[in-house]
Amino acid sequence: MSRKPQKGYFVKGHFVAEGSELDLQLKAELKGTTGATKTDLKREMEALQALGTDLLTLRADLFARLDLPEKLQDALAEARRITNFEGKRRQMQFIGKLMRKLGDDEVAAIQAALDEQRSGSAAEKLALHQAEHWRDRLIAGDDALPLWMQQYPATDTQQIRALIRQARKDAPPVDKAAVSQGLAPRKGRAYRELFQLVREQMGAALSDNESPTDDEEDGHAP
């Protein structure tokens, strides 16, 4: 019975078996990671596989910006469809192998996109908490509205006053039994609309502050 030929290649007349220590060493030298051990390469592959797993959670707009190889995009799309645990595990290993073929710039771009998504999520949570704080403050006392209008003068004064008044009227009496059980009282429509108005005005003000002036767009200092 004939033996199956061993996979490998020749270097300076010597056969190098694929997966051998010499093979790993030569590949490490090609990558500029001379001295990397088999453990180092395994750790690198696991890190790239984890990065591929994170790619599955990336927003569509950030994902499209990466312009990844078609084979890797198809493999990621298939991983999203697979629900079987073992099938998913094998698919992620395959994705890890494809990730190893990416250049350093491509890997850095993926990490930057993931960082952008994470920082964006943190900023959104902060904006949400700030809007909740302003809504509650506006309902709690009349002294908050002048401060709000000072910071957000584009707000429709009549609209926000009407929402504040209605939210106060709709506020249910304190139910001590519900509070002791950790149940939040139901809020009326004005309460929700006031929150929406606050978020919109805060978002609009932030966009205005970030938008370049005409002089900046022309390349001139203001």
Compute the distance between CA of residue 92 and CA of residue 94 in angstroms, rounded to an integer. Answer: 5
Within-domain flag for 216: no
Q: Are residues 97 and 37 in the same domain?
A: yes
Q: Are residues 53 and 83 in the same domain?
A: yes
What was the pLDDT predicted at 146? 95
Residue at a domain's end among 102, 130, 147: 102
What was the pLDDT predicted at 38? 67
Compute the distance between CA of residue 91 and CA of residue 75 in angstroms, rounded to an integer. Answer: 7
Within-domain flag for 8: no
Mean pLDDT of the chain, nearest integer:
80
Domain harbouring 76, CATH code: 1.10.60
Q: Are residues 133 and 68 in the same domain?
A: no
pLDDT tens-digit readout, 101-135: 888 889 889 988 988 888 876 777 888 899 999 99
Within-domain flag for 6: no
pLDDT tens-digit readout, 30-53: 765 545 566 776 777 788 888 888
Q: Are residues 128 and 181 in the same domain?
A: yes
What was the pLDDT predicted at 74? 92
Do the Cβ atoms of 193 and 163 come closer than 8 Å?
yes
pLDDT tens-digit readout, 43-91: 777 888 888 889 999 988 889 889 899 999 999 999 999 988 888 889 9
Within-domain flag for 115: no
How many domains is the chain built from?
2
Within-domain flag for 144: yes
Q: Are residues 70 and 125 in the same domain?
A: no
Residue 185 — pLDDT band, cuts 50, 70, 90? low
pTM above 0.85, yes or no: no
Within-domain flag for 220: no
Q: Apex CA 191: angle with CA 189 and CA 194, to 5°?
A: 105
Q: Are residues 152 and 204 in the same domain?
A: yes
* DSSP 3-state of 150: helix
Domain that holds residue 160: 121-209
Domain harbouring 204, CATH code: 1.10.60.30
pLDDT tens-digit readout, 186-221: 678 899 999 999 999 988 887 766 655 444 445 444
**pLDDT at 168 exceeding the cut of 50:** yes
What was the pLDDT predicted at 143? 94
Compute the distance between CA of residue 11 and CA of residue 14 in angstroms, rounded to an integer. Answer: 5
Within-domain flag for 214: no
What was the pLDDT predicted at 50? 87
